[in-house]
Amino acid sequence: MTHSPHFIVLEGIDGSGTTTQAARLLEHLQSRGRKTHGTREPSTGPVGRLLREILLGGHAPTGASVHGDTMALLFAADRRDHLQREIDPRLAAGFDVVSDRYHWSSLAYQAQETDVSWVAGLGRNLRQPDLTILVDLPIAEAARRRALAGRPEERYDADSTLAKVAAHYRALAAADPKARVVDGSPSVDDVTQAILKVVDEVFLSND
Ligand code: TYD
């Protein structure tokens, strides 16, 4: 078995379950004897930390929210930092890297508040994932799951926003041969099975 490391990204609207599914995918890869590294965006680096504060409503002493252009720049800066200091070194060391969100999150979310072609330009020359899995489920179900998990309402959580984000995600997936869509509405276990099937089909036959 050769060991070319894989860069796998999970994407989906808030409440789609990418965090849970990323953890399960990592376990699966480990059980196949692969070295793995799990990560997410916003990252745990300095820009990522700032982004999480803003997403929860921080840094608005005058009541003015941070502009969409600024958010796009911060997400892009966080991604460069994440790639250079975490993703690239791990891949170079032979680890499979699974990231909960990456550039598509910027295309899908920031498109709602700034010019999407500018956002695409900010992502020029980024490392491309070997596989992107879009976990797709109805907006109402995602909202139900967020409420069930007691997650605080974040900047992009309005149903009207997430409906547009979801549509954008579907268009991205339809145009990318290295992307697969998995239905996120069944049980967590069933979604995991669907994701593992995709990953095994795409990679393990070649490993
Ligand atoms: P999320 O995965 O929901 O993090 P947490 O589980 O810690 O709340 O991501 C945070 C939010 O940031 C989510 O609403 C999507 C948004 N986001 C963007 O708008 N653009 C991006 O580039 C990224 C990475 C995330």
**Widest CA span of the chain, in angstroms?**
58
**Average pLDDT along the chain:** 94
Whether 163 has a pLDDT exceeding 60, the answer reads: yes
Name residues contacting ligand 1 (CB within 6 A).
14, 19, 41-42, 55, 75, 101, 105-106, 109-110, 154, 156
Is the separation of the CB atoms in 131 and 180 below 8 Å?
yes
Q: Tell me the DSSP string of 138-176.
A: -HHHHHHHHHHTTPPP-TT--HHHHHHHHHHHHHHHHT-
Q: Compute the distance from residue 2 Cα to the ligand 1 centre, in Å.
A: 34
Considering only CA atoms, which residue is closest to atom 3 of ligand 1?
14
CA of 203 to the centre of ligand 1 (A): 27
Digit-coded pLDDT (tens) for 18-40:
999 999 999 999 999 999 999 99
The dihedral region occupied by 17, where left means phi > 0, alpha psi between -120 and 50, and beta the remainder, is left
Tokens (6 digits) for 151:
């997650």
Atom of ligand 1 nearest to the CA of 103: 22
Distance 41 CA to ligand 1 centre (A): 7
The model's pTM is 0.95
Tell me which residue has its CA closest to atom 7 in ligand 1: 52
Residue nearest to atom 1 of ligand 1 (CA): 14
- The pLDDT tens digits for 128-139 are 999 999 999 999
φ, ψ for residue 136 (rounded to 5)? -110, 130
Q: Which atom of ligand 1 is least distant from the CA of 18?
A: 2
What is residue 90's predicted lDDT score, i.e. its pLDDT? Answer: 98
Burial code (b: 16+ CB inside 10 Å, e: under 16) for 62-93 equals: eeeebebeebbbbbbbbbeebbeebbeebbee
Question: Tens of pLDDT along 84-108?
Answer: 999 999 999 999 999 999 999 999 9
33: left (phi over 0), alpha (psi -120 to 50) or beta: left
**Ligand 1 mutation target, pool 109, 116, 159, 161, most atoms within 8 A of CB:** 109
CA–centroid distance, residue 206 to ligand 1 (Å): 32
| Res 154: pLDDT | 86
pLDDT of residue 183: 98
pLDDT-derived band of residue 153, with 50, 70 and 90 as boundaries? confident
Please give the number of the atom of ligand 1 that sits closest to the Cα of 109: 19
